[in-house]
């Protein structure tokens, strides 16, 4: 159902599990907490994830992002892009054309976020399989009381 790449990723992640288990997190030095906070910050709010998501496909102009990220207002887009810029996740390049062209692109660091997203995808898919379907009986076999 999912690509071989995902299967491979699953194996890798299982290997990580085997070697690390909770040990890494349990040591939990302060720098780890800061690191997690930074990452959470990168995705913070309703719009950063979809914005980063489209930019993973390549650099884009303001209006292009606005069109691709459904329902976002220019105010929010502007605000979030500024935020991502000061946090070193996207770069903003102004071209001296008429009318001006402004391009947003993920920094190398920003592109690395796809690893976090993949860990999220992995967890989310697994979690849905083992939990959500079971806890919502109405979704199983189309049976429903009353």
- Rule CB under 8 A: which residues touch a copy of itself? 3, 5-6, 8-9, 12-13, 15-17, 19-28, 31-32, 34-40, 42-43, 49, 53, 56-57, 86-88, 107-109, 111-128, 130-132, 135
Half-sphere exposure of 107 (CA within 13 A, CB side): 13
Does 142 help bind DNA (rule: CB under 7 A)?
A: no
Rounded to whole angstroms, the Cα distance separating 57 from 55 reads 5
Q: How far is the CB of 86 from DNA (least distance, A)?
A: 13
| Token reading at 9 | 């990723």
Site for DNA (CB under 7 A): how many residues? 22
Which residues, listed in sequence order, are joined to residue 137 by a DSSP beta bridge?
A: none
Q: How far is the CB of 29 from DNA (least distance, A)?
A: 24
93 sits in the region (left: phi over 0; alpha: psi -120 to 50; else beta) called beta
What does residue 95 show for φ and ψ, rounded to 5 degrees? -105, 140
Return the range that interacts with DNA (CB under 7 A); candidates 14-22, 23-31, 64-72, 136-144. 64-72
Question: In the complex, which residues of this chain contact DNA (CB under 7 A)?
Answer: 44-47, 61-64, 71-76, 78, 81, 92, 98-102
């Amino acid at each position: 159902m999912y690509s071989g790449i995902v299967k491979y990723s699953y194996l890798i992640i299982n290997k990580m599990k085997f070697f690390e288990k909770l040990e890494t997190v349990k040591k939990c030095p302060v720098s780890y907490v800061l690191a997690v906070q930074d990452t959470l910050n990168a995705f913070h709010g309703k719009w950063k994830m979809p914005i980063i998501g489209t930019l993973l496909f390549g650099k884009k102009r303001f209006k292009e992002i606005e069109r691709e990220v459904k329902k976002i207002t220019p105010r929010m887009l502007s605000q979030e892009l500024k935020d991502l810029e000061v946090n070193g996740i996207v770069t903003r390049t102004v071209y001296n054309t008429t009318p001006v062209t402004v391009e947003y692109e993920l920094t190398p660091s920003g592109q690395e976020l796809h690893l976090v997203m993949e860990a999220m995808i992995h967890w989310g898919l697994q979690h849905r399989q083992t939990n959500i379907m079971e806890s919502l009986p109405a979704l199983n076999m189309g049976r429903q009381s009353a």
